[in-house]
A and B are shown apart, each in its own frame.
Chain A
Amino acid sequence: MDITAEAIVFLLLSVLTLGSALLVVTTRNLFHAALYLMLALFGVAGFFVLLAAPFLAGFQVVVYIGAIAVLIILAVMLTPSVTRLPRIYNAQWAVNLALAVVFFLLLFSVLTPVVDDLGISGTWGANFTQNSPADVPASSVSDLGEALVDPQQYMLPFELASVLLMGALIGAALLVSPTARDDEDAPHESGQGA
């Protein structure tokens, strides 16, 4: 592959995304991990721009970085003892690491043309070698907007998603509402404090 501007941007985004994702799972301080998570999500938004999906890139910045990451930071601040853990991994972490590496190597061997280059014939590789797709129609963003509210296409799942979000938000508010919980908890507070 010759070096084009797109390839350089892709390489930078890959390093940014995977590097900060690694820091998310290895950083001891959870607040820093949440900030690295924001960086990783930003890299994914960059991939969406590179893949000609600007609507999803904006969505990613607004929903993920603007809402979910901020929610996670808020939760980190509301549970203060969590940033000073003696151990950040559980007892099985070595097995999990081996499992993750093996899984990645399996995926890598299926997805890339490496296996074909090695001369192993057969049906192992998935042959995802497309590299010059057709152009995206210029109206793709407005088409997506119409498809989401078109009864013939995605209107039902769209409305279901909004009901799901509404239910989730009401449930979340109920779970953390102080009124009912505190009355229930107040007598036990001293006993369960430890």
Chain B
Amino acid sequence: MIPLWMYLVVAAGLFVIGMFGVLSRRNAIAILMGIELMLNAVNVNLVAFWRYQTPTKLSGQAFAAFVFAVAAAEAAVGLALIIGIYRRKRSVIADDVNLLKW
């Protein structure tokens, strides 16, 4: 079978790509897409560790399912916030929404 570390490396690559997107994109929707990529990388890690370390217990899969629920809630609220900001400021560039910046 495929060694565990290969899954971990692919998940690390996915996480790092998502992290670059979150840190560098100007558009708030693109930032949310980066967050989705990072959450998916975490889920791959969780399931890979479940498969290779404790396949008879279910904690890994259950935890991944909860990550799904949190990701869905995050996407719904995040996109609603972005649409609300767009209505007020006609912009979704994260740099334009700096009202709370010291």
Give the B-binding residues of A (Cβ under 8 A): 1, 6-7, 10, 14, 17-18, 21-22, 24-25, 30, 33-34, 37, 40-41, 44, 47-48, 50-53, 55-56, 59-60, 63-64, 67-68, 71-72, 74-76, 78-79, 81-82, 85, 87-90, 92-93, 96-97, 99-101, 103-104, 107-108, 111-113, 128-137, 140, 143-144, 147-148, 153-154, 157, 161-162, 164-165, 167-169, 171-173, 175-176, 181, 185, 192-194
* Closest A-B pairs by Cβ, 10 of them: A168-B73, A25-B21, A172-B80, A96-B23, A175-B80, A161-B69, A93-B24, A131-B3, A107-B12, A100-B20
Contact between B51 and A82, CB atoms less than 8 A apart: no
Set of chain A residues within 8 Å of B9, measured between Cβ atoms: 107-108, 111-112
In the bound complex, how far is the Cα of B71 from the Cα of A34, in angstroms? 16
Minimum CB–CB distance for B57 against chain A, Å: 9
Q: Are A56 and B47 in contact, CB atoms less than 8 angstroms apart?
A: yes
Whether B62 and A147, one on each chain, are in contact in the complex, defined by CB atoms closer than 8 angstroms, is yes
Determine the residue in chain B with the shortest Cβ distance to A94. Answer: B24
**Distance from A70 Cβ to chain B, minimum over Cβ atoms (Å):** 10
Q: Name the residue on A nearest B79 (C-beta).
A: A75
Q: Which residue of A47, A128, A194 contacts B47 across the interface (Cβ within 8 Å)?
A: A47
The interface residues of chain A, by DSSP majority, are classed as: helix
Rounded to whole angstroms, the CA-CA distance of A162 and B7 in the bound complex is: 30
Tally of contact residues, B, Cβ under 8 A:
74
Tell me the complex Cα distance, A22–B14, Å: 9
A37 touching B25 by the CB < 8 A rule? no
Given contacts A92-B23, A111-B12, contact A130 B4 (CB under 8 A): yes
Q: Which residue of A25, A88, A112, A154 contacts B34 across the interface (Cβ within 8 Å)? A: A25
Q: B-side binding surface: helix, strand, loop or mixed?
A: helix
Partner of A185, one of B30, B75, B87: B87
Complex-state Cα separation, A85 to B50, whole angstroms: 42
Residues 10-51 (chain B) with a chain A CB within 8 angstroms: 10, 12-14, 16-21, 23-27, 29-30, 32-34, 36-37, 40, 43-44, 47-48, 50-51
- Among the listed B8, B50, B91, which residue makes an inter-chain contact with A53, where contact means beta carbons less than 8 Å apart? B50
Known: A1-B3, A130-B3. A171 touches B17 (CB 8 A): no
Taken together as a complex, chains A and B put the C-alpha atoms of A173 and B77 apart, in Å, by: 9
When the two chains form the complex, which single residue of B8, B25, B33, B82 contacts A88, counting CB atoms closer than 8 Å?
B25
Q: Are A33 and B2 in contact (CB under 8 A)?
A: no
Instruction: Tell which of B26, B43, B83, B88 touches A78, judged by Cβ atoms closer than 8 Å.
Output: B83
B21 near A44 with CB under 8 A, answer: no
**A100-B13 Cα distance, complex, nearest whole Å:** 9
Q: In the complex, A11 Cα to B82 Cα: how many Å? A: 36
In contact, B13 and A63 (Cβ under 8 angstroms): no
